[in-house]
């Protein structure tokens, strides 16, 4: 029997978990794609290809050349370009697309959130008075905070922020999640943090800082995600497996 070929766009724990579930299936050939941003990526349970495709055209060509039956976009909720490219490449090739996106966090009692739409608004939400800010947003958008150099920043990322911020008072911390609540409380206390800036990434691995801020009564500036786009959506790995089965079944019937 011909194996159905699946390409997962990854870089998230969900993508790795999904690949782990699908890896044992003898009817499927699964490849995981990573952007190649992380210097020392976590091991993956299926074959990996690394690096950008070259925009929509490059991704479309890759899907055709590799005779992919189903594209699964399991990238981070804030990786907007690759998700847009996946939608466009699916439309151009007719190859079905499934979006696996973990649910965002919801505010609970005790949370002191200011919700903003993007990093520029997050910078503004810190205000004019100097504060001690924990930037837990990864390294790619940290430079936006050069616009508010009056604050002290503690920047945590997996890989170094390069180039570093121009703001004068910045500490850097290299660490990879998951982070426990206890460790996050200790970090916030140890650095005398006044306010946390976070993306609404969802999931458990980085929720500790949100719980820690709540327990210390600290405010959080939370950057919201873009609106979900149309198409096939799954919020969990289990849902994604079920929908993937349906979609590779229907693409076979259509002879895609
Ligand atoms: N943004 C975040 O907060 C965040 C957090 C945790 C993990 N990540 C992961 O880190 C990776 C990069 O995120 P980003 O925000 O820089 O992405 P992005 O801005 O949406 O994508 C920029 C470009 O990187 C390439 N790319 C991104 N993801 C790829 C993948 N899985 N496989 C192959 N090429 C990929 C594509 O290049 P071409 O146009 O050349 O194809 C894409 O146009 C993603 O895989 C994402 O899941 C992102």
Q: Is residue 142 part of a domain?
A: yes
Q: How far is the CA of 224 from the centre of ligand 1 (A)?
A: 18
Q: Are residues 162 and 206 in the same domain?
A: yes
228: confidence class by pLDDT, cuts 50, 70, 90: confident
Q: Is residue 23 part of a domain?
A: yes
**Mean pLDDT of the 94-98 span:** 97
Q: Are residues 169 and 95 in the same domain?
A: no
Mean pLDDT of the chain: 94
Q: d(Cα 23, Cα 7) in Å, to the nearest integer? A: 12
Nearest residue by C-alpha to atom 9 in ligand 1 = 11
Q: Are residues 45 and 62 in the same domain?
A: yes
The pLDDT assigned to 256 comes to 46
Q: What is the pLDDT of residues 97-110, one digit of tens each?
A: 999 999 999 999 99
Question: Is pLDDT of 255 > 60?
Answer: no
Q: Are residues 187 and 240 in the same domain?
A: no
Number of domains in the chain: 2
The pLDDT assigned to 252 comes to 58
Q: Is residue 165 part of a domain?
A: yes
Q: How far is the CA of 137 from the centre of ligand 1 (A)?
A: 15
- Both tokens assigned to 36: 């190649």
The pLDDT assigned to 227 comes to 82
Q: Are residues 94 and 80 in the same domain?
A: yes
34 lines ligand 1 (CB under 6 A): yes
Q: How far is the CA of 212 from the centre of ligand 1 (A)?
A: 28
Q: Are residues 179 and 250 in the same domain?
A: no
Q: Are residues 208 and 248 in the same domain?
A: no
The pLDDT assigned to 250 comes to 62
Q: Is residue 175 part of a domain?
A: yes
**Mean pLDDT of the 199-220 span:** 96
9 lines ligand 1 (CB under 6 A): yes
Q: Is residue 108 part of a domain?
A: no
Residues of the chain above pLDDT 70, percent: 97
- Domain limits for position 49: 4-103+227-254
Exposed, middle or buried: residue 24 (CB in 10 Å: 0-12, 13-18, 19+)?
exposed
**Mean pLDDT of the 216-225 span:** 97
Residues of the chain above pLDDT 90, percent: 89
Query: To test ligand 1's pocket by mutation, which of 31, 36, 79, 223 has the most ligand atoms within 8 angstroms of CB?
Result: 79
CATH number for the domain that contains residue 160: 3.40.50.720
CATH number for the domain that contains residue 240: 3.40.50.2000
Q: Is residue 249 part of a domain?
A: yes
Contact 172, 159 (CB under 8 A): no
Q: Are residues 138 and 202 in the same domain?
A: yes
Q: What is the pLDDT of residues 139-156, one digit of tens each?
A: 999 999 999 999 999 999
């Amino acid at each position: 029997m011909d194996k159905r070929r699946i390409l997962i766009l990854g870089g998230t724990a969900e993508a790795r978990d999904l690949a782990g579930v699908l890896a044992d299936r003898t009817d499927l050939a699964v490849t995981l794609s990573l952007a190649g941003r992380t210097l020392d990526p976590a091991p993956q349970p299926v074959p990996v290809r690394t690096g950008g495709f070259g925009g929509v055209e490059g991704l479309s060509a890759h899907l055709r050349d590799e005779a992919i039956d189903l594209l699964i976009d399991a990238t981070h909720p804030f990786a907007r370009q690759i998700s847009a490219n996946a939608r466009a490449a699916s439309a151009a090739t007719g190859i079905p697309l499934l979006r696996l996106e973990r649910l965002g966090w919801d505010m609970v009692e005790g949370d002191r959130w200011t919700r903003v739409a993007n990093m520029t608004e997050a910078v503004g939400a810190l205000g004019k008075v100097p504060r001690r800010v924990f930037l837990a947003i990864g390294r790619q958008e940290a430079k936006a905070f050069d616009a508010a150099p009056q604050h002290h920043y503690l920047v945590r990322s997996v890989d170094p922020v390069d180039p570093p911020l121009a703001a004068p008072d910045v500490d850097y911390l290299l660490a990879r999640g998951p982070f426990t609540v206890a460790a996050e409380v200790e970090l916030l206390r140890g650095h005398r943090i006044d306010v946390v800036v976070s993306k609404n990434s969802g999931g458990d691995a980085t929720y500790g800082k949100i719980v820690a801020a709540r327990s210390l009564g600290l405010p959080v500036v939370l950057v919201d995600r873009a609106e979900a786009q149309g198409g096939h959506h799954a919020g969990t790995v289990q849902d994604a497996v079920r929908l993937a089965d349906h979609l590779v079944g229907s693409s076979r019937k259509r002879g895609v």
